[in-house]
Structure 1
């Protein structure tokens, strides 16, 4: 048993003081109540550790390398994408595992407790499958186990280079499968995740309406199980126009008209939706998976958060390209985008809850739903995904309740307040430092030295 005494705790019933949170040997929360026993840990501020609902782990190695303007003065997401494909021509399974361990460690030190890995790097350079079709999936699971992070593995189906069904080329070939081979890969990936800790799970990720045709989408949804379904949707203007031209409807409109989108679904980005599409998606119960730092970096656009939450929508947050892994910065960036667009302040706050409280609780609920993970709340029976923070510092100044959350998110020093992180009861961060930091960073630096001459 691990017994945590916390001065203040964000529970499903709001803020409570001087609680005892007991973790059992299975990694779940066994009890939440008054302090009665000698603690194993004392925490100033205890929050649920969130699930990072969208990550492409291998892209962490590209962080900072795509900020120069290309030969086209209209540099955009699509030029970034070409550089990403060039990068893909080099990565080996060993290198991918080392990069993934680094990014998962950084997520834990940022206060995340779990990740949904949108995993689409399946094959060798040139698109040749490995002898073990799930080689790369197993490397992601291994990296997650090394770091101790909770995992929802999302093997990605990627079949075409666009809505015109053009074949994959260059780096894209490492992603590609026809539906039959993808279903075999998916089954192997599910087994790989199931071989990990008991909190590990899996789902399904048709990449986008550009990369999977309607027949392929229907086939894999019908045959690939009942786990979470994640898909990129309406990220870029060019994507919306391409889908409209070939399918006769905008991406969100087409998906809602042709599939039973509900709580199983997580639609990523959704930065190019109309007001009507935003309201319609909110009513489905699906999660809008937002990645504000990556969306800002790529110039995707601004998600209509005020309308979406106003219509009762569910949302969560991910680090996507992993250009900068900061949970609190993701939340802040969404709120600031609403303020800049609408010339407002406290755009997402409600009468009874501050901006930070709204953002954090939405992220906790949406992340857990998107990951198919019983987490996101400090409650008996949930996985013990917890983050303990120090409040006696220049950032929090011993603030209480919503003011403490607002200070974490908007004060600029929130990540430095993270002291302890548990993932399904596994103590992975202590006093701000991951338990395998030195070895993981050393391996990552070795990989970067191997890659740097070719980037």
Structure 2
């Protein structure tokens, strides 16, 4: 653990003499450590993890020097394949366009996607995530089968493509294979557009086993479980599935749209979050994605459960879902993090900014999301760092023993220059456009330099070729 209030220049290290095994060091003019901002910070890295942290030291001759260091953020909810359809659903269809009409566009897009296409699109999404300051993604993965709905020879073929994209880009991966059996509450028969997502309980066990094999070669990969929603999985099915998580994270969509809540009440006699809290073992392993439309009682109970609310402000705004009751939830001690969901725009700072701005617009006041720190930026980063890491099953923060997942902000950027401490975060989230993120290290390896992913041109070329086929 990181030791607070150390004398200047003293190293905080892993036990057992790990300091002697440091392979390389990064030096930051200032960095956000678990107990706050510090100056002259050297981070020693060995085996992909932080081996030592020193503060108030000068840069050494072999140190890689950077500006302001902050922990990499966790993107707790992504559907990578949807990056390829970003912007395609912005043409008005029905007069009452909403999530449900958007979903029809998604079904048509996914019909033609091959495993090679899925890998190319995921790699593009993951490179963009890293460039924006996300160092780990929770991939809520439900595109399992071939275009006719038949399992591939390897039932985890598509999971292997997600793993390959993570390997190529270097992003940390928490893979969340999705169980999807029904087309709506009742349960209702599946829609034709859902045929690539569907599994039965028996087949899903093989899919989970194949998914674990698919990520076995990735550094610090985590596998969890994702019953898609109460629309697509019944409560008895969820209970039967939970042992397959093997102690890993459990994610589920809940209460994203008003219509979803109304249909749930009509079919099952209660609201979605209420049902989960009453009939599922919701605890700190769980992440309820969206949870937008909760009653006051559901809000208090979800906060008390220790679960994480997975908020996706950009997608929720794009789909017209609504606004999460964050002030009441946070006041009750609720934990939360952010995700890019449909990947309509992949940007960590944008998700954090919109999370606050939505609250300002609904509450008609400023600086809504603040905790002990007066800085909104610091509050957002701290809460989403802790909540995102919990939801994805990894530790958070720049401390010995943790993965060396680090973001360097450009302290000379026009929106960050002449600022210190929390003002750097406020400038990044609320004032910067592109270019605020300078470098990114994932598991100690530098994957983003001068704001660009090192394999970006190659990844973008494959992505353009895939989109050329998909949209032809």
Does the alignment pair 1:159 with 2:181?
A: yes
Deviations 1:362-416 (A, max 9, x none): 1111111111012x30101100110001111211123101111111111032x41
1 CA distance for matches of 2:191 and 2:179? 16
Does the alignment pair 1:355 with 2:376?
A: yes
Correspondent of 1:245 among 266, 289, 302: 266
Q: Secondary structure at the match of 1:32?
A: strand
Deviations 1:324-344 (A, max 9, x none): 011001001010111111111
Deviations 1:293-340 (A, max 9, x none): 000000010011111111111100100000001100100101011111
Preserved contact between residue 416 and residue 428 of structure 2 (Cα < 8 Å): yes
Preserved contact between residue 311 and residue 337 of structure 2 (Cα < 8 Å): yes
Partner of 1:47: 70
Distance 1:424 1:165, change over 3 A: same
Does the alignment pair 1:384 with 2:404?
A: yes
Deviations 1:406-454 (A, max 9, x none): 11111032x411111011112111111111111100000001111122x
Q: Tell me, which stretches of 5 or more residues in structure 1 are unaligned? A: none
Q: How many equivalent pairs are there?
A: 448
Partner of 1:101: 123
Does the alignment pair 1:180 with 2:199?
A: no
Partner of 2:414: 394
Q: CA deviation at 1:245?
A: 1.5
Does the alignment pair 1:31 with 2:74?
A: no
Q: CA deviation at 1:171?
A: 2.2
Correspondent of 1:147 among 158, 169, 177: 169
Q: CA deviation at 1:3?
A: 0.7
Preserved contact between residue 194 and residue 201 of structure 1 (Cα < 8 Å): no
Preserved contact between residue 225 and residue 244 of structure 2 (Cα < 8 Å): no
Correspondent of 1:367 among 388, 410, 414: 388
> Equivalent residues in 2 for 1:6-405 (5 A)?
6-24=28-46, 26-34=47-55, 35=57, 37-70=60-93, 72-197=94-219, 199-350=220-371, 352-374=373-395, 376-405=396-425
2 CA distance for matches of 1:291 and 1:10? 24
1 CA distance for matches of 2:243 and 2:412? 53
Deviations 1:75-100 (A, max 9, x none): 11100001100111100000000000
Q: Secondary structure at the match of 1:174?
A: coil
Distance 1:247 1:222, change over 3 A: farther
- Per the normalisation by structure 2, the TM-score is 0.93
Partner of 1:419: 438
- Per the normalisation by structure 1, the TM-score is 0.97
Does the alignment pair 1:410 with 2:430?
A: yes
Preserved contact between residue 154 and residue 210 of structure 2 (Cα < 8 Å): no
Q: CA deviation at 1:351?
A: 5.1
1 CA distance for matches of 2:81 and 2:133? 20
1 CA distance for matches of 2:51 and 2:155? 39
Preserved contact between residue 234 and residue 270 of structure 1 (Cα < 8 Å): yes
Q: Secondary structure at the match of 1:416?
A: coil
Deviations 1:40-60 (A, max 9, x none): 311110000011100000000
Q: Secondary structure at the match of 1:324?
A: coil
Deviations 1:167-194 (A, max 9, x none): 2232200000011111110111012112
Deviations 1:242-270 (A, max 9, x none): 11112211011110001121110011011
